[in-house]
Amino acid sequence: MNEVTDESTSPDASSGTATATGTGAPGASGASVAPEPSHGDGSTPGRRTILEVDELQMYFPVKSSGIIRRTIAHVQAVDGVSFEVETGSALGLVGESGCGKSTTGRLITRLLTPTAGAIRFEGRDIAKLSPRELKPLRRDIQMIFQDPYTSLNPRHTVGSIVAAPLEIHNVVPKKKILSRVQELLEIVGLNPEHYNRYPNEFSGGQRQRIGIARALTLNPKLLVADEPVSALDVSIQAQVINLLQDLQKEFDISFLFIAHDLAVVRHFCPEVAVMYLGKIVEVADRVTLYNRPYHPYTQALLSAVPDVKQAAIGGRRDRVRLEGDVPSPINPPSGCRFRTRCPIAQDICAKVIPPLLQIGPRHKVACHFAGEAGKHPAQPVFSRALGVDENGSPEPGVTPVPGLVEHPGFADTWFDIESQKMGS
């Protein structure tokens, strides 16, 4: 498997993967990469949407102790998340641990039933389908789990693990299952003759390849990759990433790629969404997000990424250090959930929840003071558009700007911060 190398990336000494430092989307030299968008903003003309998530919520009940266990609170793991994934493309989902990324992935694969919201797969809402109704869809939506050690049954051979979906869904005749399993093992770079071995006989990277083979068994249209390389040795992370890109290109698979490593996400995903405490705070194409982030939290995340090449030539981002701890999702802050750690928060941030508004062709942000690092406005940019004053109180005589409706994808019109009007 080829290394992830190109002139816009450099090896990251801490992660062993490619660290993007250029201003454009990375194109690997000598490696198979995901299909590149024809526009610099990350859009892909002619693509249709395969997954649409609209106002998705997942609240886990907190029970009291004692004989009669009552629900006394809720953990707001996911609260009003909206995004789209295009056919054959990849959306990266990043954020701190505990922000709700993995829960979002499990909701999309319907391992969990959402509290509210819609999950439209190829136009059909699958959020409330019964297990029997979901069975045909299991062939189209698969998941690569984070831990390659616990996601494989140690009592089953590799052959039985990969063959299980084929047997459950009756995809191929029984006499052809073995040959199909060996074919899949070969596709992911494993020896086909090892189908009768057990998971404990393989390394971490090989186990993750087995998990990928299992996910590919039913020829899915959408793969939810939950930290697919975080548990792997740094020497083989790039190999697995290149394998996923090869498979995406060959089978035209769509990806929801959940990860912590921002360099890997930049290399793999044309679009990136940033989550904080159950909400998406910014989503944009990778060129815009990595070079001109507008949300303070995104700026803090990107400033923490080690960048050896940029440090050598100068011009590296100033380190943004966040104060305090992440609030509890049981009792999140009022208004903007990031305000308790935000260096530019004001009174309006505690009163009004900033909506995720589109401010460019492929750029959305949820911040009252959205702006480039070091150039955040002194006055809230969305206050008059939302019909409130600078302190968040309703302003008499001011009508909210029509069209400020949150929707999963990107529209042809957006709110221009400079002119305070809807543009296109």
In a domain, 269, yes or no: yes
> How many domains does one find in the chain?
1
Position 353 in a domain:
no
The tens digit of pLDDT for each residue in 322-371 reads: 888 889 999 999 999 999 999 999 999 999 999 898 888 899 999 999 99
Handedness of CA 52, 142, 48, 85 (dihedral sign): positive
Asked whether 213 and 194 are in contact (CB, 8 A), the reply is no
Task: Note whether residue 340 is domain-resident.
Answer: no
For residue 123, give the CATH number of its domain. Answer: 3.40.50.300
Which of 6 and 165 is assigned the larger pLDDT?
A: 165
- Nearest alpha carbon to residue 163 among 186, 185, 147, 148: 185
Q: Write 327-335 long-range contacts (CB < 8 A, 24+).
A: 327/277, 329/75, 329/76, 329/77, 329/98, 329/100, 329/277, 329/278, 330/62, 330/73, 330/74, 330/75, 330/76, 331/73, 332/76, 332/79, 332/277, 332/278, 335/392
pLDDT, average across residues 41-46: 48
Q: Is residue 237 part of a domain?
A: yes
Report CA-CA distances (Å) from 253 to 45, 125, 142, 246: 17, 20, 11, 10
Q: What is the pLDDT of residue 403?
A: 58
Q: Residue 130 burial by CB count (10 A; 0-12/13-18/19+): exposed, middle or buried?
A: exposed
Structural domain of residue 153, as residue ranges?
A: 9-63+76-276
| Domain membership flag for residue 423 | no
Residue 18 in this model has a pLDDT that exceeds 50 = no
Dihedral class, residue 276 (left if φ above 0, else alpha if ψ from -120 to 50, else beta):
beta
Burial (0-12, 13-18, 19+ Cβ within 10 Å), 112: middle
pTM as predicted = 0.82
Backbone angles phi, psi at 409, to 5 degrees: -100, -160
Would you say residue 181 lies in a domain?
Answer: yes
Residue at 199 is within a domain? yes
pLDDT one-digit tens code per residue, 165-216: 999 988 888 899 999 999 999 988 899 988 999 999 998 888 989 999 999 8
For range 58-79, the mean pLDDT: 92
Q: What is the mean pLDDT of residues 116-130?
A: 94
pLDDT single digits (tens) 219-251: 999 999 998 888 777 777 888 888 899 889 988
Q: Which residues on adjacent β-strands are paired with residue 271?
A: 91, 285
Question: What DSSP element (H or E) covers 164?
Answer: helix 158-169
